[in-house]
RNA sequence: GGCGCUAUCGUCUAGGGGUUAGGACGGAAGAUUCUCAAUCUUCAAACCCGGGUUCGAUUCCCGGUAGCGCUACCA
């Protein structure tokens, strides 16, 4: 919890939220919503809800060069799909005054200095990771009078934090996940607070806003673990007590590299999961299981259970692999299930089966309609129980139940109509007899079952030998939902028509 | 290069000084229903390496190795 200390840069912007648990998710709008970011959002949200705290969304948009409105929209789109919500919303770019005040306060205190080195035109092959380590990436510090003179002359400068070096000391904090952390100031460079265009850097803006918004717990990716030492330094200089930190292990690709859209494709974007037919609750569940465990062997959990069970103690420290298939193409196609982490797909199927028929039906209907089929809600309600245990992703309904939606069956191989250990003649006999039986049997499960079994016996066929040709005739393929339920939904007219067509198909094929 | 973090089945993980190292996904085999799916049963599959501490380490400590992160006027 932030407690105000003396010396704070300003009272403006430092609203005091009395002793409440407040967390934030602070994405920078430079791309789509990444699965790793989504998980960070979820963990923050869970922590807030579990403890009755406040969830804040803050757009960290201080990098004017890279931010785009499209990205803002795409992040909202992803978050909206997650369907978790948040309580307060801010934009860093609207809080610049606060950031500058903090920078100036630190400068006036003598803990920061101006660096007039021109900004490097950043290039991709920034190999600064080699060579000797520089405590000051820019230029040596100028005397204050000269610094003032050049600043007054209008020369642009970046503002750097002067990290104690000759009198190096350890900077430490306790991370809720990684435990005690410590690093010597001798190993921390003079990082920038303000860019030469006057915009704050991430470090400064983040600290100022976390303080300003009274963030009590900063839960973020482990890539910020070492940055935290800088943040502690900033906070110290500004006279503000640091929040509680909890760093999350990172989500990585099967090859151990970090998730990147360029290298790994659409599987790293949240909306891809939405478009492929994942249930948001299943996706959230899946992400939770990456780097966190309820420790009681539970896998499928709904939102309520997650909120009840979630704790920072359950978070582990090793990076987690999102086990998708490398090099997969568009996930919204027939191979979708091969593309995603198998566990995500399985969990989705689990959640689908846990849905009520009405709920599932409501989620399936728009997908079917968008695919160009006219289907009434009533009919979807009938079809849903037949597909529920056969689909893993919502979109699978299009391939599993297609024959319910079309007027004419797509072409299929007449050989499919021939039953096990049978021939074309057997198929013909079965179908002709089926046509007669179906013409006069009530289209309900039990009567159909009895009549068709009796017919099979009459013809000296095994039940399967009777049913299979009918199944293929009405579904156009061998693998389909149970026959009698299917016929019931299809109705007599369609059924008889398709059986008749099957008979003709065999005749012309022979 | 420097600094930091991490290391249990292919993947996600539980566990922890003495265990047959547990579960899940995926894989294999079988049972079951009119096919498929679902369900059930069974099987294969792991403590990175080397020292130390200890009666005993996968577990604790140190070192190595590997991976990841930071080392930007990106976040």
Q: Which residue is closest, via its CA, to the C1' of B67?
A: A256
The model's pLDDT over A220-269, given as tens digits with 9 standing for 90+, comes to: 999 999 999 999 999 999 999 999 999 999 999 998 888 887 788 888 99
Residues 320-339 of A with CB under 7 A from strand B: 320-321, 323
Residue A20 C-beta-side C-alpha neighbours within 13 Å? 16
Q: In chain A, which segments carry CATH 1.10.10.350?
A: 414-509
Is any atom of nucleic acid chain B found less than 7 Å from the CB of residue A62? Answer: yes
DSSP calls for A197-218: TSPBPHHHHHHHHHHHTT--EE
Q: A264-354 — its CATH code?
A: 1.10.1160.10
- Which residue in A406, A409, A384 sits closest to A396, CA to CA? A384
Query: How far, in Å, is the CA of A375 from the C1' of nucleotide B11?
Result: 39
Please give the nucleotide, over all strands, whose C1' is closest to the CA of residue A463: B34
Is any atom of nucleic acid chain B found less than 7 Å from the CB of residue A121? Answer: no
CA gap A332, A148 in Å, rounded: 59
pLDDT for A131: 56
**What interface predicted TM-score (ipTM) does this complex get?**
0.96
Residue with tokens 């963990």: A43
Decide which of 2.60.40.10, 3.40.50.300, 3.60.15.10, 1.10.10.350 is the CATH code for A414-509.
1.10.10.350
The mean pLDDT value for A413-426 works out to 89
Is A115 within 8 Å of A158 (Cβ atoms)? yes
Residue with tokens 């849903």: A384
pLDDT above 70: percentage of residues in chain A: 90
DSSP calls for A312-329: GGGB-SS-EE--PPTT--
Is any atom of nucleic acid chain B found less than 7 Å from the CB of residue A297? Answer: yes
Is A403 within 8 Å of A395 (Cβ atoms)? no
- A235: its two tokens: 């906070």
Q: Which range, of A78-92, A120-134, A295-309, A373-387, averages the lowest pLDDT?
A: A120-134
The mean pLDDT value for A197-216 works out to 96
Is any atom of nucleic acid chain B found less than 7 Å from the CB of residue A85? Answer: no
Q: A355-406 — its CATH code?
A: 1.10.8.70
CA gap A218, A226 in Å, rounded: 14
Q: Which of A80, A109, A261, A444 is an active site residue?
A: A261
The mean pLDDT value for A434-443 works out to 95
Question: What is the dihedral sign for C-alpha A304, A253, A315, A179?
Answer: negative
Beta strands A320-321 and A251-252 are parallel
Query: How far, in Å, is the CA of A88 from the C1' of nucleotide B54?
Result: 55
pLDDT for A128: 45
Q: In chain A, which segments carry CATH 3.40.50.620?
A: 22-118+136-248
The model's pLDDT over A343-370, given as tens digits with 9 standing for 90+, comes to: 999 999 999 999 999 999 999 999 999 9
Is any atom of nucleic acid chain B found less than 7 Å from the CB of residue A389? Answer: yes
Is A22 within 8 Å of A213 (Cβ atoms)? yes
E strand or H helix at A463, and its extent?
A: helix A463-475
Q: A22-118+136-248 — its CATH code?
A: 3.40.50.620
Is any atom of nucleic acid chain B found less than 7 Å from the CB of residue A464? Answer: yes
CA gap A40, A240 in Å, rounded: 25
């Amino acid at each position: 919890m932030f407690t105000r200390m003396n010396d704070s840069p300003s009272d403006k912007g430092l609203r005091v939220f009395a002793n409440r648990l407040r967390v934030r998710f602070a994405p920078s709008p430079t791309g789509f919503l990444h699965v790793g970011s989504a998980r960070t959002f979820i963990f923050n949200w869970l922590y807030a809800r579990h403890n009755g705290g406040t969830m804040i969304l803050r757009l960290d948009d201080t990098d004017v060069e890279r931010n785009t409105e499209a990205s803002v929209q795409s992040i909202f789109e992803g978050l909206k799909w997650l369907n978790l919500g948040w309580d307060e919303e801010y934009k860093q770019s609207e809080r610049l005054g606060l950031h500058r005040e903090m920078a100036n306060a630190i400068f006036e205190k003598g803990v920061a200095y101006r660096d007039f080195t021109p900004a490097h035109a950043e290039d991709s092959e920034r190999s600064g990771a080699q060579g000797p380590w520089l405590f000051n990436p820019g230029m040596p510090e100028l005397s204050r009078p000269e610094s003032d003179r050049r600043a007054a002359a209008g020369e642009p400068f970046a503002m750097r934090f002067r990290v104690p070096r000759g009198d190096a000391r350890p900077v430490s904090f306790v991370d809720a996940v990684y435990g005690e952390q410590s690093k010597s100031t001798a190993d921390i460079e003079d990082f920038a607070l303000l860019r030469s265009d006057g915009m704050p850097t991430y470090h400064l803006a983040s600290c100022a806003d976390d303080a300003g918004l009274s963030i009590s717990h900063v839960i973020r990716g482990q890539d910020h673990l070492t940055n935290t030492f800088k943040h502690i330094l900033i906070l110290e200089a500004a006279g503000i007590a640091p929040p509680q930190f909890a760093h999350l292990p990172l989500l990585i690709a099967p090859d151990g590299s970090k998730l990147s859209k360029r290298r790994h494709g659409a599987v790293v974007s949240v909306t891809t999961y939405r478009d492929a037919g994942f249930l948001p609750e299943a996706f959230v569940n899946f992400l939770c299981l990456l780097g966190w465990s309820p420790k009681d062997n539970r896998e499928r959990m709904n939102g309520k259970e997650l909120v009840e069970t979630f704790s920072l103690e359950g978070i582990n420290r090793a990076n987690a692999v999102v086990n998708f298939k490398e090099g997969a193409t568009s996930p919204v196609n027939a191979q979708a299930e091969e593309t995603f982490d198998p566990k995500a797909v399985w969990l989705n199927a689990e959640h689908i089966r846990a849905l009520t028929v009405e709920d599932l039906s409501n989620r399936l209907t728009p997908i079917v309609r968008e695919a160009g089929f006219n289907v009434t809600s009533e009919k979807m309600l009938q079809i849903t129980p037949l597909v529920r245990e056969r689909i893993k992703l919502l979109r699978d309904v299009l391939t599993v139940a297609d024959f319910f939606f079309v007027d004419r069956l797509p072409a299929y191989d007449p050989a499919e109509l021939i039953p096990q250990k049978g021939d074309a003649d057997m198929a013909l006999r079965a179908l002709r007899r089926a046509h007669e039986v179906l013409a006069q049997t009530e289209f309900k499960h039990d009567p159909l079952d009895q009549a068709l079994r009796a017919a099979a016996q009459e013809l000296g066929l095994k039940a399967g030998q009777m049913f299979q040709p009918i199944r293929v005739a009405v579904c156009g393929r061998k693998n389909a939902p149970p026959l009698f339920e299917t016929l019931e939904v299809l109705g007599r007219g369609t059924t008889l028509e398709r059986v008749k067509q099957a008979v003709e198909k065999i005749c012309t094929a022979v």
